[in-house]
Amino acid sequence: GLGDMKRLQLLQLQSNRITGMPNVPRLNDIKHGLSTYVTDCGVPSDFDEALACENCTMCCNAHDDCYPQQETKVSKSGLKDYGAFSGVLAVFFVVLCCMVTLLLYVIGRYKDSGTNLTKSTRRRMRLKDDIYALSAIGNDSVY
């Protein structure tokens, strides 16, 4: 088969609906780069299940979009896919919002703790403010 061909340098099998992947060892991609071994192993697939190809250098999907078969930053971080990354990001955002809300609550309580005034003190302060306002703008002002 194809795996027995010792001088094989380029194999492009995309867009041909081959369902069984040939057993081909990793080809030397120095000459042709990421286009050395291309198959229909991308998602979304024309098949019920996407084809598995471990040694492919590039995978193409049902829309004829091809992408290199490389590890992404998300997979390097230990997450399965971008869906898992989105879930982790959403949980992080919710936790961050809760922490900010808690921090603002604590700061508000701390600021308010120094202003615990009795009702009579507040009433006296309000009366003083009213008297000051009237003296500043005058009794006959429209304001």
Q: What is the average per-residue pLDDT within 32-54?
A: 78
CA distance 20 to 53: 10
> Six-digit token pair at 73?
């930053």
Q: Estimate to the nearest angstrom the gap between the alpha carbon of 77 and the chain centroid.
A: 13
Q: Is the pTM of this model over 0.75?
A: no
In degrees rounded to 5, what are phi and psi of residue 109? -65, -40
> Six-digit token pair at 79?
């997450």
Residue range 73-130, pLDDT digits in tens = 877 888 877 888 899 999 999 999 999 999 999 988 777 666 666 778 878 888 999 8
CA distance 40 to 24: 15
**pLDDT number for residue 95:** 97
**pLDDT number for residue 117:** 66
Residue from 93, 18, 85 nearest 56 by CA: 18
Residue from 48, 46, 49, 71 nearest 60 by CA: 46
Q: What is the average per-residue pLDDT within 50-72?
A: 83
Q: Does 63 or 95 have the greater pLDDT score?
A: 95
How much is the mean pLDDT over the chain? 80
